[in-house]
Amino acid sequence: MKKVAIVGGTGYTGVELLRLLARHPEVEVCAITSRSEAGRQVSDIYPSLRGEFDLAFTEPTNEILGQADLVFFATPNGVAMKQTRELVDAGVKVIDLAADFRFDDVDEWSKWYGMDHACADLMVEAVYGLPEVNKQAVQAARLVANPGCYPTAVQIGLLPLIEQNLIDTQNIIADCKSGVSGAGRGAAVGSLMCEAADSFKAYAVAGHRHLPEIKERLSVCAGESVGLTFVPHLTPMIRGIHATMYAKLQGPIDMNELQAAYEARYADHPFVDVMPLGSHPETRSVRGSNICRVALHQPQGGDTLVILSAIDNLVKGAAGQAVHNMNLMLGLEEKAGLEIMPLSP
């Protein structure tokens, strides 16, 4: 059995990691940390895990974390970078679910996250953990940057088009909607259900932190800088992300051929479901699962392609993708712990 530890276990991604790892056949959670809840039993905070883990929260010391084969950081931005060097130098593999290692450009990261980076050289080494792009690199990595939730949905929807130079990469639009759990477990008026229910709004239109991440990764794929308009929206639901992308085709294309190209691109990636042409993936169809469902549309036969992408932001957009990366890094079966059907209703 491989031993893993979770830093920051009281947030939504932390408990989602525990839910997935509880049934993992080859992994044991040896430690889960929280400075604010140290000493309390996991089931006291999350009754849903009663009987699954006989663990109490501990302080996140490297002495404790060093006993694991791999450590997940389910912490706010700026936390993982302060402990990662000592861990990886001691032979412990690390997956950061925050943004500390997602960028190649440290100056761009500092601009968007408002702090200096504690180990900029490790940003260069870190592998961007989107398995649909970097599976082999993840397998060999000691440090993986788990992608953001919006970037996951958007990239999976657009990658085949950019890789085959089928669209104008200077005028891409990503219109995305997220449930309130994307804001985290911390109390904030805007994400209270009484505030979010019966309402719908855009936010961070001038610039969301996931914008530079998406642009950087799509630019790497394109081999040149891409032009992207990204607008996130808050919806009155708990889980889910629905991304609608608009892209201008480079020329006439047979939609059946395009569908076949998507199916071929993701044939070896078990957590991407390319739905039949004209389908409408729903967030409820992926709720609780590690699946991304994608569908293609060409409205009125014009030159604009519409790509729909739906994920659970807490699973494929966070904890599930992290477990997928863990499986690859530790040489485990790729789908272990993740063969879970979506919840319905």
Distance of CA 143 to the CA centre of its chain: 15
Can you give the three-state secondary structure of 140-152, one letter per residue?
Answer: CCCEEECCCHHHH
* Helical segments of the chain, H only: 12-21, 42-45, 62-65, 84-89, 106-113, 120-125, 131-139, 149-163, 193-196, 210-222, 255-265, 320-329
What is the tens place of the pLDDT at every residue in 52-67?
888 889 988 888 999 9
Q: What confidence tier does 75 reach under pLDDT thresholds 50, 70, 90?
A: very high
pLDDT of residue 43: 87
Specify the CATH class of 150-315 in words. alpha beta
Q: What is the pTM of this model?
A: 0.95
The phi and psi torsions of 192 (rounded to 5 degrees) equal -65, 140
Tell me the average pLDDT across 306-320.
98
pLDDT exceeds 80 at position 183: no
Residues 6+ apart with CB under 8 A from 317: 148, 149, 150, 152, 153, 182, 241, 311
pLDDT of residue 187: 56
Q: What confidence tier does 34 reach under pLDDT thresholds 50, 70, 90?
A: confident
pLDDT exceeds 60 at position 141: yes
Q: What confidence tier does 191 reach under pLDDT thresholds 50, 70, 90?
A: low
pLDDT of residue 196: 79
Angle value at C-alpha 125, between 265 and 215, nearest 5 degrees: 50
Length of the chain: 345
pLDDT exceeds 90 at position 214: yes
pLDDT exceeds 80 at position 322: yes
Q: What confidence tier does 11 reach under pLDDT thresholds 50, 70, 90?
A: confident
Q: Decide: helix, strand or coil at residue 269.
A: coil
Q: What confidence tier does 190 reach under pLDDT thresholds 50, 70, 90?
A: low
Partner residues linked to 128 by β-bridges? 145
pLDDT of residue 173: 98
User: CB neighbours (10 Å) of residue 337?
Assistant: 22
Question: DSSP letters of 64-103?
Answer: HHTTSSEEEE-S-TTSGGGTHHHHHHTT-EEEESSSTTS-
| Amino acid code (one letter) for 139 | Q
**How far, in Å, are 31, 77, 257 from residue 168 at the CA level?**
48, 33, 18
The CATH architecture annotation of domain 2-125 reads 3-Layer(aba) Sandwich (3.40)
Tell me the average pLDDT across 70-84.
95
pLDDT of residue 99: 95
Q: Which of 119, 149, 221, 292 is catalytic?
A: 149
Mean pLDDT, the chain, integer:
94
Residue 292 annotated to the active site? no
pLDDT of residue 137: 98
**What does the alpha-carbon distance between residue 241 and residue 145 come to, in Å, rounded to a whole number?**
20
| Amino acid code (one letter) for 328 | L
What proportion of the chain, given as a percentage, has pLDDT over 70?
98
The phi and psi torsions of 38 (rounded to 5 degrees) equal -55, 130
**How far, in Å, are 150, 155, 238, 247, 267 from residue 222 at the CA level?**
19, 12, 34, 14, 21
345 upstream amide cis, omega within 30 of 0: yes
148: left (phi over 0), alpha (psi -120 to 50) or beta: beta
The domain ranges of the chain are 2-125, 150-315
Tell me the average pLDDT across 207-234.
96
- CA-wise closest residue to 328 among 84, 128, 116: 128
